[in-house]
Amino acid sequence: MGEDTINLNHSKLGTQEYWDDLYKLETKNFEENEQDIGECWFNDSDAEYKIIGFLNTCLEEQEFVETINESSTIIDLGTGNGSLLFEIRKNSDFKGKLVGFDYSQFSIDFANKIKEKNFGDDKDIEFKHLDILNNKNWYNTDIPKDYDIILDKGTLDAIALSDNLYENDFRDNENENENENNKKLLKGIEIYPKIMEKIMKKNSILLITSCNFNFNELKLIISQSTKKLKYWKRIDYPVFEFGGVKGSTICSIAFIKE
């Protein structure tokens, strides 16, 4: 993978300690004022509104009936306060199971408090503590593989800002004789695409929203590590121009597993 793609400066935003502390504080604020559900990531770009609009359009068009329909199951990687899943339940026609994963237990506890307050005992909204990058058994049933849509709103960004290294402990049924390079420690952003490939089923969708990478960089990050995830669609955001260069503050790009 090209160094210019993955070499972001390390930041506290890439540490679990930062997110644990944030969700401890946001939980405290919520307990004092239940109208305060914390920060909505990329809210200034209306990302959640755009993502839900994109999903609703996919549902209406039914381009892939196998995976996108009213009963589709959706997971949110790095769910934080669960805001995206709550908005999907309120403002879309998706009636299937919604599951948020996060490596911060404080995030999961916070999201569950908000859910209890606003959605009661809705069993089709669930939050689970899970670090997909560190899970030693990622290739067995500990990591679910039956979801139709995977959403990542800022999680790949946070991974790219971390200096953590992970074992490249893959088990590829198509190639049991892994070479020696697969034993080396890799950055999270380098193993992320392979993990996504493994937890996705055929024709399932991965929608990544990022403020650190542009359209071409996101395509490169995914394509350099897996051949099974193909670019599908993108979400258009308002474009600004500065110094003769056009761009947008965030990017959302969808991949489909062949």
CB 59 within 8 A of CB 93: yes
DSSP character at residue 20: H
**Angstrom distance (rounded) from CA 66 to CA 72:** 9
**Angstrom distance (rounded) from CA 65 to CA 157:** 30
Strand partners, 251: 210
**How is residue 75 written in tokens?**
């997971």
pTM (two decimals):
0.88
User: Any residues with CB less than 8 A from the CB of 172 and at least 6 apart, and which?
Assistant: 178
Q: pLDDT tens per residue, the chain (258 residues)?
A: 444 445 666 778 778 899 999 999 999 999 999 989 988 878 878 899 999 999 999 888 876 767 889 999 999 999 999 999 999 999 999 999 999 999 999 999 999 999 999 998 889 999 999 888 876 655 555 566 678 999 999 999 999 999 888 877 655 544 544 555 556 788 899 989 988 988 898 999 999 999 999 999 999 999 988 899 999 999 988 876 555 555 568 999 999 999
Return the beta strands (E) in the chain as ranges: 74-77, 98-102, 125-129, 149-153, 165-167, 185-187, 205-210, 229-235, 240-242, 245-247, 251-257
**Angstrom distance (rounded) from CA 231 to CA 122:** 34
Give just the sign of the alpha carbon dihedral 26, 27, 29, 30: positive
Q: Which domains does the chain have, with CATH numbers?
A: 3-28+37-257 (3.40.50.150)
